[in-house]
Structure 1
Amino acid sequence: MDQAIGELVEHTSQTLSTLPPKTRFLISVSGIPGSGKTTLAKKVAERLNAVSKIGDVAAMIPMDGYHLTRAALSAMPNPIEAHARRGAPFTFDPVSLKRLIEQVKAPLGEAEKIIYAPSFDHAVKDPVEDDIKILSSQRVLIFEGNYLSMGTEVWGDIARLFDELWFVKVDRGVARERLIARHLKAGLADTREAAAKRADENDLPNGDYLIKNGLKPHRVIRSVEDQEYARGK
């Protein structure tokens, strides 16, 4: 996988060098739950910053910060289903996500301008507003999340704002095992059976929905089974 990351870094650096100095390069990294997209996006951003001669030029922004809060889920007509299906498209706030992407896509000004994005606190299981700083120097923004290449409704509007769509492809069985391990580690399930049920009834159907409704990506990256990717998303 290091070779693939190296190629992505080289491609991104080369593309950035051809853009006007006040223009950002926006990339989305999507894939089904358990594909390893978070790990990939993080590694590409870290590598870009490591080879940069002018400081940090890249930032990764996870879609997790746009989860609806637990309070918002509880206020839905069917709160039990809403909480059980957390992670499905209807449990996110794509309108706010679109607004952020439109904001960072605008040409950069002369003065430093910090834009803030939300993060997600896994301890309290809710978003944290204005927790991620996006600096003017960060001209490569790598957004990662399940639905960033989807073509339906607001999601399609979001996908078309990106300069490139990257899709992380993974065997369904590999993704399932990663999800089971993740749910057990995060305390979302007490037993392997409960973790498997969550993967089979929520995560993997969400992935199926993405694949069925996804736009054609510019690049497809094959996820492999290794220790680092097993810990990723």
Structure 2
Amino acid sequence: MTPELDSLARQIIRSAEGASRYLVALAGPPGAGKSYRSALLCEAINQLLPGQAGLVPMDGYHFDNAMLGKQQLPIKGAPHTFDVDGLRSALERIRQAQHPVAVPVFDRPLDLARAGGRLITLEQRIVIVEGNYLLLDRSPWRELRPLFDWTLFLDVDDEILVDRLIQRWLEMGQDHAGALERTHCKDMLNAQLVKRCSLPPDQRWH
């Protein structure tokens, strides 16, 4: 565990002291490393408080490709291609801390969400929610903000995002031209929206 990660984990634990459920939003643009860093943060908290941290990925609430095709939505990953109401309902149930809550998980290689892919148990009183638009200052996304006790935003330079996203698409089987097209005509459009139009976080993670 790095000193920075240890510090963040301990900060969250202190803030969550005495709470039956404490929700942390970790937002940032595509390619910022949200999935990787949220998993590391969750693990760091569990090292200090075994079994008390859980993770909810926003990508599990992506509409299926078949539905996107029917609605002719060309930019997959844009804000309107997610089931925001479903995410909000799940977060409200998680906050209530009355029953375990099953959440979907996005399978990137298969490019689809698996329903009930993860269970948030009552023991997991600190829940990290990660995703691009958790702090987006547009309805219906801004209505999620009151559900979070603390918010964190991953700041990454555009040049690094582009390199990471191109590499991601190459690893998923795209040729170089396809990786460039998806990066610049899809992912980076969403990235600029996240950077320009997100609500101020409680803390930035550079």
2:31 is aligned with 1:12: no
Provide the rounded CA distance (Å) in 2 between the counterparts of 1:139 and 1:186: 35
| Alignment length (residue pairs) | 206
Shift in Å, 1:149: 0.9
SS, match of residue 34 in structure 1: coil
Whole-angstrom CA distance in 1 between matches of 2:63 and 2:121 = 25
- The alignment's C-alpha RMSD in Å is 1.4
Q: What does residue 143 of structure 2 align with? A: 157
User: Would you say 1:141 and 2:136 are equivalent positions?
Assistant: no
Match of 1:196 in 2: 180
Distance 2:138 2:151 in 1: 15
Taking the aligned partners of 1:45 and 1:25, their CA distance within structure 2 comes to: 13
Mean CA deviation greater in 61-70 or 120-129: 120-129
- 1:91-136 deviations in whole A, cap 9, x for unaligned? 1111100111111111x34xxx321001112343211111110000
Measured after TM superposition, the shift of residue 213 of structure 1 is: 1.6
- Tell me by how many angstroms 1:160 deviates: 2.5
Q: 1-side partners of 2:167 and 2:47: how far apart?
A: 31
Q: Write the letter of the residue equivalent to 2:52.
A: V
Greater C-alpha Rg: 1
Instruction: State whether residues 30 and 147 of structure 1, in contact with CA within 8 Å, keep that contact through their aligned partners in structure 2.
Output: yes
The offset of 1:159, in angstroms, is 2.3
* Cα deviation code 1:150-186 (max 9, x no counterpart): 1110100012311111000001000110000001101
The answer to whether the 8 A contact 1:4-1:221 is kept is no
Per-residue deviation, 1:195: 0.9
The TM-score, its normalising length taken from structure 1, stands at: 0.84
Question: Which letter maps to 2:106?
Answer: F
Map Cα deviations across residues 209-228 of structure 1 (whole Å, 9 max, x no partner). Answer: 11222100001000xxxxxx
Q: Aligned equivalents of 1:164 and 1:16: distance in 2?
A: 10
Report the Cα distance in structure 2 between the residues aligned to 1:36 and 1:70, rounded to whole angstroms: 23
Cα pair 1:151 1:159 within 8 Å, conserved: no
| Residues 1:75 and 2:70 are matched in the alignment | yes
**Structure 2 Cα separation of the partners of residues 5 and 68 of structure 1:** 32
Does residue 101 of structure 1 match 2:91? Answer: yes
1:221 aligns to 2:200 (yes or no): no
Q: Which stretches of structure 1, 4 residues or longer, exceed 3 Å deviation after superposition?
A: none
CA distance in 2, matches of 1:85, 1:161: 27
User: How far apart are residue 4 of structure 1 and its match?
Assistant: 1.9
Identity of matched residues, %: 29
Question: Match of 2:30?
Answer: 33
Following the alignment from structure 2 to structure 1, what is the Cα–Cα distance between the partners of residues 158 and 2? 22
Alpha carbons 2:109, 2:172 under 8 Å: kept: no
Counterpart contact for 2:59–2:105, Cα < 8 Å: yes
Q: Give the letter for the 2:92 counterpart.
A: E
Q: Does 1:49 align with 2:34?
A: no
SS in 2 for 1:47: helix
- Cα distance between partner residues in 2 of 1:115 and 1:16: 20
Task: Determine the C-alpha separation between the residues in 2 that align with 1:122 and 1:209.
Answer: 22
Structure 1 residues 54-100: Cα deviation after superposition (integer angstroms, max 9, x where no partner): x3000111111101001111210x2xxx2x41111111111100111
